[in-house]
Amino acid sequence: LGVPTIKIQPTENGYIKEKPLKDYFLTYKKELLVAGCLLFALILAIAIGVGVTYSCVGKFRCGTSSKCIRNSAQCDGVTDCDHGEDEFKCVRLSGKNSVLQIYSGGSWKTVCSEDWRDAFGSTACRQLGYTKYVNSSSLPLSSIEQDFQKDLVSINLNLPVGHTFKIHNATHVSRTQCISGKVTSLKCLECGSRPQFSTRIVGGNESSEGQFPWQVSLHFQREHLCGGSIITTQWILTAAHCVYGFASPSFWVVYVGIIDQPVPGVSSHAVLKIFYHWKYKPKALDYDIALMKLKTPLNFNGLVEPICLPNYGEEFEDGELCWISGWGATEDGGEASMSMNYARVPLISNKVCSQPTVYQGYITPRMICAGYLEGGTDSCQGDSGGPLACEDASVWKLVGATSWGQGCAERNKPGVYTRISQCLDWIHEQMEREEALHPTTFSNGT
């Protein structure tokens, strides 16, 4: 494999240093052998003492615990897991048209548009972790992807003013066809636009104001360490390896709307909480995703804007040209850039990226590759956590977060990014849980 490295900028104070993945892989076999022996002994002891083995196969696992419940008990309005995990992740937006689906009776169901009310839309947006609701619209059933046409449901609950509920617990009727012939599309956030960027600016690779208004700089103890992306007024998405072992919010500040480093005189934003995926393992860099919740909401002004998350089941084609940006080094092992740079790179299928000459054995479904197999253009150290952004019908979507690669811009070693569409459940669960614990003032509109 060579020497793959996480794309994080080392700091001079010695608290965080870039570590080649080769160091992990060389010790991995030894650790695996020892761990395997210990695990076998533990399993044997449990099997002898208890006389049974317990499996979650075909069931819903309650978070990181060993407790399992039947799938039909998930999203049924009754909390069965100790921390309520079974009543989160019950709403999702699917396909290119953001079709609303709810989880009920053990399967995902597309919501028909008849009897639909704005109150339902507000509730669904809150369950997705958003603090605003923009609008709902109706789409012909035949215009959406076939995978979402099969299992349908109508919601027809009459609610008193001020009544709170969860959309998946509302009264609903399962259907094989929508009476209206239409389904519901939902929009919770105005995102993915660049209102202050002039597309007439061409040439060079240094970013201009408003070109990537969702890009942020994450400073660890007063130094730029990683990038990130704005996804709502209070949430920043970045890579887990940026914060792993250093997840104390007091270590970090976030700078938004800037294109140059350092940033004297520019106000920073304090971090309230940091979450990284519970399945993240630094030796494999799978599930390399984290969220930062800011102490105070951002003001969107054209130079600071959120990027849209992709929807469930939304596909981005091999060869599609997307954009990477950040303050990373301009050459492998170099210093961080003082100006934000950007580059256009094509997406590479996991099949190609898993070939023996590329990254055989290390690409998982939670990863997506982008770059040129001939080399020359890539993200680098200091770009970690930053966006891989793709434009679709003038709307920008966060397809990936910069994760790792072998060196920078080497032949047959493209950049590897966390595939955001594979992490949506986790993202919305963190946002929904925080919204449930600390509700904000909810509003309609943008």
| Most confident by average pLDDT, 20-24, 25-29, 319-323 | 319-323
Find the mean pLDDT for residues 105-128: 92
**Which pLDDT does position 23 carry in this prediction?**
35
Q: Where in the chain is CATH 2.40.10.10?
A: 215-296+426-431
**Which pLDDT does position 163 carry in this prediction?**
55
- CA-atom Rg of the chain in angstroms: 23
pLDDT digits (tens, 9 = 90+) for 284-315: 899 999 999 999 999 999 999 999 999 999 99
Q: Tell me the backbone φ, ψ of residue 241, rounded to 5 degrees.
A: -70, -15
CATH superfamily of 215-296+426-431: Trypsin-like serine proteases (2.40.10.10)
Q: Judge whether residue 358 has pLDDT over 50.
A: yes
Instruction: Please enumerate in sequence order all residues whose Cβ is within 8 A of that of 221, keeping only pairs 6 or more positions apart, or say none.
Output: 11, 13, 15, 251
Q: Burial of 66 by CB count in 10 Å (0-12 exposed, 13-18 middle, 19+ buried)?
A: exposed
Name the residue with higher pLDDT: 353 or 222: 353
Find the mean pLDDT for residues 180-185: 96
Give the active site residues: 241, 288, 384
Taking alpha carbons only, the member of 6, 3, 1 closest to residue 328 is 6
Q: Taking the CB of residue 39, how many other CB atoms lie within 10 A of it?
A: 11
The CA–CA distances, whole Å, from 278 to 49, 275, 281, 367 equal 29, 9, 8, 16
Asked whether the beta carbons of 137 and 144 are under 8 A apart, the reply is: no
Residue 174 binned pLDDT confidence (cut-offs 50, 70, 90): confident
**Which pLDDT does position 160 carry in this prediction?**
53
Q: Which amino acid appears at position 205 of this protein?
A: N
Q: Where in the chain is CATH 3.10.250.10?
A: 88-187
Asked whether the beta carbons of 418 and 401 are under 8 A apart, the reply is: yes
Asked whether the beta carbons of 169 and 126 are under 8 A apart, the reply is: no
Q: Burial of 238 by CB count in 10 Å (0-12 exposed, 13-18 middle, 19+ buried)?
A: buried
Q: Judge whether residue 204 has pLDDT over 90.
A: no
Q: How far apart are CA 154 and CA 47, in angstroms?
A: 47
pTM: 0.86
Task: Name the CATH architecture for the domain at 88-187.
Answer: Roll (3.10)
